[in-house]
Structure 1
C-alpha cells in the first residue's frame, strides 16, 4: 500500500488551544516522543510569533532525532512587502530548518476582506513566497487556508491558488478545512476533483468544529490524499484539530497503509500511542477523557455481564482491535450489571481460581449488586471488589475495626486540624493521632499512626488519588457522597470506594478498606 506522510502540529496548532501553554522543556520532550513514534514532520512552531518558539528551534538541534524532520511554520509575505524583507519568511530561514510550512489564502472572501488586496496580488505573493524559500534550499509544504470553503465559493480561484503553489515548487499542497464545517461527502468530492488537476502530493488539514475532523481526514485518504496533518489528542484552535491518536490506528490496522518512519513491524508501530497521548495530556493540563477512542482508560472496558462473558471467551466479540496494539488493555468492570465471569476474572488477579458454580461467586456478586442499589459504585474499585470476594470466601476483612474517631478543626488566632482514632488491630487496641491540612488529611494520618504501630510493612502504602462525587446534589450540603481512593505500595495499585452522607465517614471507610486489602493480599502471597 501507499505511504501516508504524517505532519504533527501539536507544538504549533495544538499550542493554540485555549487555556494551554507548553513550556519550552515540554515542547522538546513532546518532540522527542513524536520522533520516537516516527512521524514524518514535527511542526515546531511559528518562529516569528514568540520568543519561546524561536528558542525551540535553537534547542531542538541539541536533540538526536532519528526519524522526524523539524518544520517551521509561517505565512506568505505581507502584501506589498518584498519577500527578502518579510519578517515571517526570514524568521523561517533564521530557524535553520530544512522544511517550511507556509500558509496562504485560497478563499476570495479572505483575500478581499482580510488581506484587502486583489486576487492577482495574492497569487503573486504566494508564488514569490514559496519561490523565495525554495531558493534558500527549503522543502515547502503549502497549506491552502480555508480551501474547501474557498472552493465552494469560487472553485476556479481556489484551484488557481493550488496551481500557483505547485508551479512555485511546493512539494506538498495541503487542503485545509480551517473552519471545520464541511461534511465528509463534500471533502471527498472536492479532493477527488483536485486530484485531477494537481500532480504534486496532496495533503489534508482538518478542524473539528463539526466533530468530523478524523472522518474528513480518513475519507480524504480514500480520495487520494497522501499527507495528513493533525495533533495528539486533537488539541487545537476552538474545537481542535484532527486527532492523530484516532487517525493512525485505522490507517495502519484497518486501511492497510504504510505509515510512520520507524522500521518496526506493523503490529509494533503504535505500542506507545497511549504513552504519548497520556504525556501530552499531562503536559497540556487537559485531562484525557477515559472514553477517548483507542487510548482512554475505558476504551476497552466491559461492564455488561453478557459482554464480559463473551470477551473472556473471544476478545473480538466486543473489541474492534487488540488494545495491546495501541498500548492499552482490556478492563472488566464489576458492577450491578456484571455476571459471574467478572467475579471469576477479578478473583484470578489475586491468585484465586474460582469456578462459576462456586457459592462465593454468587454471594459476592449479590453483595455488590445490593450495595450499588444503595448508592455505591464499584467501577474500577478493584480493592473493594476483591475484599467482597475474599469476604464471600470466608476471609476476615474486619482486620482494622474502628472503635471510635473524632476530628477537630479550629480556625482563629491558632489554626489546628486534628484527628484522633482508636482501632482494634487483630484484637489489640491501638490509638493514633494526626494533624493535617484538613479533616480528611488529619484522619488519614491518624489512621496511619495507629496501624503502623502494629503492622509496619503498611509504611509502603500511599495514596495516589482521592476523589469525591456528590450523589444527590438536590440535598445540598446534606447530600450523600461517594469517595474513591487509589493506593499503591510501589509494586501494585488498587482502589477502594465508600458511600455515606458524611464525607469524613466515607473517606475513613475507603481508607480502612485500602489498608485492609494490603494486609490480606500480603498474607495470601506469603502463604
Structure 2
C-alpha cells in the first residue's frame, strides 16, 4: 500500500544488521511479473540480492512462478514448504522449486542449492512420507513427485516414450525418486502392454496371442465399469491370469458382514460392524472374525471390519502381509438409478514404502471392496516372492 515506507523499512533493517531481508507476498495476490519488478527495485535501492529472500503464497496458483521471478531478478533466499503446505492455498512448494532450481536452466548451472543429487532422488519419498504422517492422500498430479507426473496413457505417447523418453518426459523420473507409469486401459496398444509387462518382470514376445487377449479383456472389463488407469496392481493380476502366471495362494470359501445398531452401556445408540471370513489354504480351512472398532472404541465401518478379518490370520502368508495397510479408499458410482454399480479403488502400502492400487466392481459396495482387498493381498504376496502352499 505504501511502497516508499516498505522500502525504507527494509533498508533500515538491512543497515541495522539484519542477515536477510525477505519480501513477503502475504496475501498471495501479486503476480510473477510484478514480483520480479519489486525485487529488482529493492536491489536497486541498495539491498543486495545476496541478502534478499522471497516468501510467496499460492492464492493465484503462482507461488512457484513468483518465487522464480524473484530469483531471476536477483533474490538469493527462497522460502517454501514441503508439498506446499501453508495457510489458505498454501506456500511455494519446495518439491517443485528444488528440482526446478537443480535440474532446469538457467538455474542449474548458476546456483548451488545445498541439496545433493542423492538427496534429490529421495524427494518423492519425502513428499509421500509427509502426507503419510499427516494422513493426507498424496496429490497424484503434483509436479515431479506425483504418481501421475510421469504417467503415459495415450497409445501414441506411450509408444514414443519407449523410443525417446524426452518426447514426453522433461526429466528422468529417477532424478527425483519417481518412476514412469504406463497405465493400462482400452486406449492402450500392444507396445504399451509389452512395456508394462516388462516393467513387471514379464517378457512377452511381439505378436504373442496373449497380448490381444489381455487387451480384449481390459476393454471388456472397462465396459463393465472397471478402471485400470490407476489400479495397476489389479491390471498386473489380470495379465498374469491370461498368461497362466497367477499363483493361487488361497481360496475364499465364504464371508459375512453385519452392521448392528444398539445401545451401549451409556444408553447411547452406537454402530458395530463385524466380519467373518473363511479361507482355504492348501487343505486347511481358517476362520477369522473381526470387529471394526478402533482404539477409541469408534466403529470404522463394514469394509474396515472385512479388511481386518481377511488379514487377521492367513497362516503361512501372515508374515508377508503384517506390514501392509490401507491408505486410501475411493468409491465411484458408475451407473445411476436402482441399477447402480459401485467401483472401489483401494490404495495399499507396505513397510518398504511400496504403494499399489487395486479395483473392485459390484452392485454391492462390500463385494466390490472385498474384490479390491483380495487383489491387494495377492499382489503383495507375488511381489514378495511368497510361494503358494501346495494342496496336500
For the criterion TM > 0.5, the same-fold answer is yes
* Pair 1:164 & 2:26 matched: no
**In the aligned structure 1, how far is the partner of 2:79 from the partner of 2:146?**
22
**In the aligned structure 1, how far is the partner of 2:272 from the partner of 2:31?**
60
**In the aligned structure 1, how far is the partner of 2:38 from the partner of 2:27?**
16
**In the aligned structure 2, how far is the partner of 1:205 from the partner of 1:518?**
43
Cα 1:467/1:237, change in 2 over 3 Å: closer
**2:368 pairs with 506, 515, 519, which one?**
506
If you compute each CA radius of gyration, which structure gives the higher value, 1 or 2?
Answer: 1
**Could you tell me whether the CA contact under 8 Å between 1:418 and 1:433 is conserved in 2?**
no
Describe the SS at the equivalent of 1:301.
Answer: coil
Describe the SS at the equivalent of 1:190.
Answer: helix
**1:436 pairs with 276, 288, 291, which one?**
291
Q: CA deviation at 1:472?
A: 4.2
**In the aligned structure 2, how far is the partner of 1:447 from the partner of 1:163?**
66
Cα 1:165/1:345, change in 2 over 3 Å: same
* Pair 1:235 & 2:55 matched: no
Describe the SS at the equivalent of 1:412.
Answer: strand
After superposition, where does 1:507-522 map in structure 2 within 5 Å?
A: 507-517=369-379, 522=385
* Pair 1:464 & 2:315 matched: no
Q: CA deviation at 1:467?
A: 1.4
**Could you tell me whether the CA contact under 8 Å between 2:288 and 2:312 is conserved in 1?**
yes
Which residue does 2:343 correspond to in 1?
A: 481
Q: Where do 5+ consecutive residues of structure 1 fail to align?
A: 1-106, 108-149
Which residue does 2:31 correspond to in 1?
A: 183
**2:46 pairs with 181, 198, 203, which one?**
198
**In the aligned structure 1, how far is the partner of 2:237 from the partner of 2:36?**
54
**In the aligned structure 1, how far is the partner of 2:361 from the partner of 2:11?**
66
* Pair 1:384 & 2:245 matched: no
Which residue does 1:173 correspond to in 2?
A: 21
Range moving further from structure 2, 493-502 or 206-215:
493-502
Cα 1:494/1:248, change in 2 over 3 Å: closer
**Could you tell me whether the CA contact under 8 Å between 1:485 and 1:510 is conserved in 2?**
no
**Could you tell me whether the CA contact under 8 Å between 2:102 and 2:113 is conserved in 1?**
no
Q: CA deviation at 1:442?
A: 4.7
* Pair 1:258 & 2:258 matched: no
TM-score (norm 1): 0.60
Describe the SS at the equivalent of 2:193.
Answer: helix
Give RMSD over aligned pairs: 3.5
Give the number of aligned pairs.
367
**In the aligned structure 1, how far is the partner of 2:387 from the partner of 2:281?**
18
**1:215 pairs with 61, 65, 74, which one?**
65
CA deviations on 1:284-332 (whole Å, 9 max, x unpaired) are: 4554312111122222222222222222222212111122222222222
Cα 1:199/1:516, change in 2 over 3 Å: closer
Q: CA deviation at 1:376?
A: 0.8
